[in-house]
Amino acid sequence: MISAIEMKITLQFSDEVRDALEHNKAVVALESTIISHGMPYPQNLEVADEVENVVREHGAVPATIAILDGVVHVGMSHDLLVSFAQRKNVMKCSRRDLALAVSGKLDGATTVAATMIIASLAGIKIFATGGIGGVHRNAESTFDVSADLTELGKTNVAVVSAGAKAILDLPKTLEYLETMGVPVIGFGTDFFPAFYTRSSGLKLSMTMNDPSAVAKFLKTKWDMGIDGGAIIANPIPESAELNPMEIETAISNAIQKSQEDGISGKELTPFLLRYLNDITAGKSQVANKALVLNNAAVASRIAIALSEL
């Protein structure tokens, strides 16, 4: 068990997460930016609850990570989720912002990067999300590369995601991950998934079809002292896939609008997500929910396989 003294900062564990970590049971970390900045209330709360339940149904324990009044929570009760999902002025926290949320006793939502940092402090190895941040289109002039990618290069947590949204430059994102030494494992696919659609057409160098192979790979990587995360790229279920042409048009419109409005920095990703939700009239949100639940299921199976090694 990690004590507050050893860690110098207190993590507030939920009872079920503390119990699971003490008994080496499977735990799946879940992020909170998707709750505060990814979907409106009350859909955000519904999805947060449902994702946790999918993890439990698969025999693992969910650990939603967020900061409330400066306290870092690892695992949240339903009541805390209800409160968090409705709070205004929640700060989107990536690596850069985490210490400010804690020292300033603020509310903070953790991105993929920040969730990896907290999960790693807590001793959680597997994390389920929707999509990761990446290299933005036009990054050659804006330099906008998500801190998710550098975090994946150094922190030992594996992230199950449905690839990355085509609001990003996906070929450049894969190149950057290769540079950072991050394995991208296609789960039952040879291609990098594009979030709303099952394939970006970009071929991956690794494919695995079962959770125990992934668990063995991760254990070997970390046993070899090769620090850093991995991406388990799990395509959206076929039944929930959106039309690629329709989504590409929506994305181009969203990017154009962000440029007209001069949006940059940490505001850009939430802006694009909100705009996409609006112009697809809710279709993107239905797909988003389906893929997050699917990722939570796969992450649970991998976490269980890892706990059995």
Tell me the catalytic residues: 31, 165
Q: CA torsion 170→174→176→182, rounded to 10°? A: 140
Query: What one-character DSSP code corresponds to residue 257?
Result: H
Cα separations in angstroms, 262 against 133, 209, 213, 232, 259: 20, 43, 45, 34, 5
Q: Based on CB atoms, which residue is closest to Mn ion, 263 or 279?
A: 263
Q: Based on CB atoms, which residue is closest to Mn ion, 138 or 256?
A: 138
Where do contacts with ligand PSU occur on this chain (CB under 6 A)? Answer: 31, 33-34, 38, 94, 111-112, 130-131, 133, 146-148, 165, 195, 266, 269, 273
Q: Based on CB atoms, which residue is closest to ligand PSU, 121 or 213?
A: 121
**How far from each other are the two terminal CA atoms of the chain, in whole angstroms?**
19
User: Measured from the CB of residue 213, what is the shortest distance to ligand PSU in angstroms?
Assistant: 26
User: Measured from the CB of residue 1, what is the shortest distance to ligand PSU in angstroms?
Assistant: 28
Q: What is the residue whose two structure tokens read 């291609």?
A: 191
Interatomic CA distance for residues 145 and 133, integer angstroms = 8
161 binds, among ligand PSU, Mn ion, none (CB under 5 to 8 A by kind): none
Among 144, 148, 151, 169, binds Mn ion (CB under 5 A): 144
131 binds, among ligand PSU, Mn ion, none (CB under 5 to 8 A by kind): ligand PSU
Cα separations in angstroms, 213 against 15, 158, 162, 264, 302: 30, 14, 19, 40, 9
User: Measured from the CB of residue 43, what is the shortest distance to Mn ion in angstroms?
Assistant: 24
Hey, what are 61's tokens?
């324990």
Contacts of Mn ion in 253-282 (CB under 5 A)? none
Q: Contact, 202 vs 192, CB < 8 A? A: yes
User: Measured from the CB of residue 144, what is the shortest distance to Mn ion in angstroms?
Assistant: 4
Q: Based on CB atoms, which residue is closest to ligand PSU, 21 or 255?
A: 255
Q: Could you list the residues that contact Mn ion (CB under 5 A)?
A: 144
